Amino acid sequence: MLLPSLPQILDAQAVVYRHMPPTPQYSWPLINDRLGTEAWIKHENHSPVGAFKLRGALVYLSWVKKTNPELTGVVAATRGNHGQGVGMAARLFGLKAVIVVPHCNSKEKNRAMLAQGVELVEHGHDFQESLEFAHTLAAERGFHLVDSFHERLVMGTATYALELFKAAPPLDAVYVPIGLGSSICGVAAARNALQLKTEIIGVVAAQSPSYSLSFQARQVVQAPSRTVIADGLACRAPNPQAMDVIWQNAARIVEVSDAEIADAMRACYEDTHNLAEGAGAAALAGALKEGRNYSYERVGIVLAGSNVDRDLFRDVLAGKI
């Protein structure tokens, strides 16, 4: 896919900023001490839904509404944050949202989606099964299926990357979590649009390694997803378009275990008093894992979201994970 240009990202920012302000990026001394370098954390946990996903949803549904003015509803599959973003954006644009989640999905993310007025449908045992059912449901109801990866979603995620690159000092590298790929593709779009040399490092859960395996094999590889702590990274089947962008733009992909993600969640809370869900802390986990193996003077770290269930976070803080 063609990555969005700077004018397209700026247009997307105009859409996003009608509904939320830019999120901050801070350099925290205690995090810097852990890493042995200067780090700038992009706080997408400060968005109105506690995650970066709202940006893409706003840009996507604004476009869908303009191109399909008679549209009354949308369907999306999610593990939580995408559904919250679609739910809020749909409410703002006067659309009904039907959100499909796997059985045993996060109870608190489900509650947050319901609070946005969505119709919540439980189907399947993982995200892939929910996604397949969402296609069927959209066809049955005559609603628009909101893709989980799409160029308009990438335009939205690129807006946070543009904020980071413009607000922080020059960055040698940026660590970005990979769920289905819109976030890392948005970072690549903003970096390329600004003609920067910043390395982009993807981070995946070791227990959900499909993107890492695909990156190494230079072909799309499916793999079981067994991460317990990072539902936002639980992808069994990589998106081919996302992989094309990642192959062309990422320096490497780092795998982090659930235990390493839990360590990063604790570090984030102890050092900054910010909440980070598993997927949200993955980039920090990747940076901590690589430590001083790379001589970066300054790095960016995407804190993608904060929507962690209370019981899970209690276990993390207690060191049970």
pLDDT for residue 217: 97
Q: 316 near 229, Cβ under 8 Å?
A: yes
- Is residue 44 within 8 Å of residue 302, measured between CB atoms? yes
Of residues 25, 17, 27, 39, the one with CA closest to residue 296: 39
Asked whether residue 176 carries a pLDDT value surpassing 90, the answer given is: yes
pLDDT band (50, 70, 90) for residue 162: very high
Statement: residue 172 has pLDDT above 90: yes
Of the given ranges (106-115, 125-134, 154-163), which has the lowest mean pLDDT? Answer: 125-134
77 forms bridges with which residues in the sheet?
A: 100
Amino acid identity, residue 172? D
Fold: same for 6-51+151-317 and 53-145: yes
Dihedral in degrees, nearest 10, Cα atoms 215, 123, 104, 277? 40
Geometric angle at alpha carbon 316, from 310 and 321, rounded to 5°: 130
- Which one is predicted more confidently, 126 or 285? 285
Q: Residue 1: its pLDDT value, please?
A: 85
Per-residue pLDDT at 290: 95
Per-residue pLDDT band for 148 (boundaries 50, 70, 90) equals confident
Block residue for tokens 């570090």: 267
By mean pLDDT, which of 85-99, 124-138, 190-204 is the weakest?
Answer: 124-138
3-state secondary structure of 48: coil
**pLDDT grade for 104, boundaries at 50, 70 and 90:** confident
- How far, in Å, CA of 4 to CA of 126, rounded? 30
Residues ≥6 apart with Cβ < 8 Å to 66: none
Q: Which residue has the tokens 């296609």?
A: 135
Q: Are 253 and 201 in contact (CB under 8 A)?
A: yes
CB 293 within 8 A of CB 247: no
**CATH match of 6-51+151-317 with 3.40.50.300:** no
Q: Is the pLDDT of residue 292 over 80?
A: no
Position 295 scores a pLDDT of 85
| Sequence ranges of the domains in the chain | 6-51+151-317, 53-145
Segment 178-200, tens digit of pLDDT? 999 999 999 999 999 999 999 99
Residue 321 has pLDDT above 90, yes or no: no
Yes or no: say if 183 and 36 are a contact pair by the CB < 8 Å rule: no
| Amino acid at residue number 211 | Y
pLDDT of residue 126: 84
> 1-43, pLDDT tens digit by residue?
899 999 999 999 999 999 999 999 999 999 999 999 999 999 9
232: left (phi over 0), alpha (psi -120 to 50) or beta: alpha
Residues 6+ apart with CB under 8 A from 33: none
Q: How confident is the model at residue 204 (pLDDT cuts 50, 70, 90)?
A: very high
- Residue 99 to residue 78: CA distance in whole angstroms: 7
DSSP 318: T
Closest among 170, 239, 168 to 210, alpha carbons compared: 239
pLDDT of 235 reads 86
- pLDDT of the residue at 21: 97
Average pLDDT estimate for 217-221: 97
Q: pLDDT-based confidence at 79, cuts 50/70/90? A: confident
| Full DSSP string of 221-286 | -------SS-GGG--SS--HHHHHHHHHH-SEEEEE-HHHHHHHHHHHHHHH-----HHHHHHHHH
What is the band of 127 on the pLDDT scale with cuts at 50, 70, 90? confident
CATH architecture designation of domain 53-145: 3-Layer(aba) Sandwich (3.40)
Q: Quick check: 294 pLDDT over 90?
A: no
Per-residue model confidence (pLDDT) at position 318: 95
- Residues 301, 175 contacting (CB under 8 angstroms): yes
